[in-house]
Structure 1
Amino acid sequence: MERRPDRGHRMIPHTADVRIEAWAPDREGCVAEAVAAMVESFADASGATADSETEHRVPPGEDPDLLVGVLDEVIFRLETEAALPLETKVRAADDGGLLVRWRTTDTDAVELVGAVPKAVSLHELRFDRDEGGWSCAVTLDV
């Protein structure tokens, strides 16, 4: 069996929606990888450059709720601002929440290659420590 890299993400087969997995040595890195996986599920941003920067604060909560809060915000900004994150940096807030900084571009600057997510499903949501650090699995409703 091939050893997975310390940090990464992938899409896994799912019947009707999109299922992503992400992993990293730390919780915040795993959240950033989940954002990258979500974006790659529907957009080819390989030639895009960031033209804006934005921040978001996720209030304290259980780890799965923090992950959903970040992914929901990405979907919200896609729908309301056409803002697509090209780079995501996440750090822990002093109060237990998360501070997220995105470098973004307009969705018109990328090629859409799949269905844009409409929501994060709570069904079979997983986000916790594992033998390699942190990992998550999320189903995205499209």
Structure 2
Amino acid sequence: MDRGHRAVPHTADVRVEAWAPDREGCLAEAVAALVETFADTAGARSDAEADFTVPAGGDEDLLVAVLDEVIFRLEIEGTLPLETEAQPVDGGVRVRWRTTGTDAVELVGAVPKAVSLHGLRFSGTDSGWRCAVTVDV
């Protein structure tokens, strides 16, 4: 299975889907999908790194926590991830971002406000991992 992501039309909100061979790759693709819904990062260069750990929990909880962190840092710090690496740790996940400030990118869409739990999906099969999430804008 290849890695990838896309935005899907959704009334008044943003819906993204992502897929990858493993859970951590799918999380990274979901972050990229979310960022692409509101920012044009072409040509942007990272000027900082950030990392955090999401404790063990259900897979959907991990997805929500990682995407919530994108929104939190966007609102509080004015930063967003350009590259995401995720590694499993004790049932949870350690996330490392290469980041840039919002002043280094062009905002092209509605800025996300919250991750919706309605219609949230994140699961793995023998052929890889897939997720779908709606984000309130």
Please give the range of the TM-score, normalised by the shorter of the 2 chains.
over 0.9
1:13-38 CA-partner distances (Å, limit 9, x unpaired): 10110000000000000000000000
User: What is the RMSD computed on CA atoms of the aligned residues?
Assistant: 0.9
How many residues end up aligned between the 2 structures? 137
More divergent stretch after superposition (128-137 vs 83-92): 128-137
1:86 equivalent in alignment to 2:89: no
Cα offset, 1:63, TM superposition: 0.3
Q: Residue 21 of structure 1 contacts residue 34 of structure 1 at CA under 8 Å; is this kept in 2?
A: yes
In structure 1, what is the Cα distance between the partners aligned to 2:65 and 2:88?
A: 14
Partner-residue secondary structure (3-state), 1:116:
coil
2:82 and 2:41 map into 1 onto residues whose CA distance is 7
Partner of 1:127: 122
Matches of 2:46 and 2:105, distance apart in 1: 11
Mapped to 2, the partners of 1:46 and 1:106 lie a distance apart of 13
- In the TM superposition, 1:1-142 aligns within 5 A as 6-93=2-89, 95-130=90-125, 132-142=127-137
Which segment drifts farther, 125-134 or 30-39? 125-134
Q: Which amino acid aligns with 1:100?
A: V
How far apart are the structure 1 equivalents of 2:114 and 2:126? 29
Aligned partner of 1:56: which letter? F
Q: What is the one-letter code of the residue matched to 1:120? A: V
**Counterparts of 2:70 and 2:80 in 1: how far apart (Å)?**
8
Paired AA for residue 105 in structure 1: T
TM-score by length of structure 1 reads: 0.94
Counterpart CA distance in 2 for 1:132 and 1:20 is 20
**Distance across 2 between alignment mates of 1:49 and 1:130:** 35
CA distance in structure 2 between the aligned counterparts of 1:141 and 1:92, rounded to whole angstroms:
28
Whether the 8 Å contact between 1:60 and 1:97 is mirrored in structure 2 is yes
Identity %: 72
**Cα pair 1:87 1:103 within 8 Å, conserved:** yes
TM-score normalized by the length of structure 2: 0.98
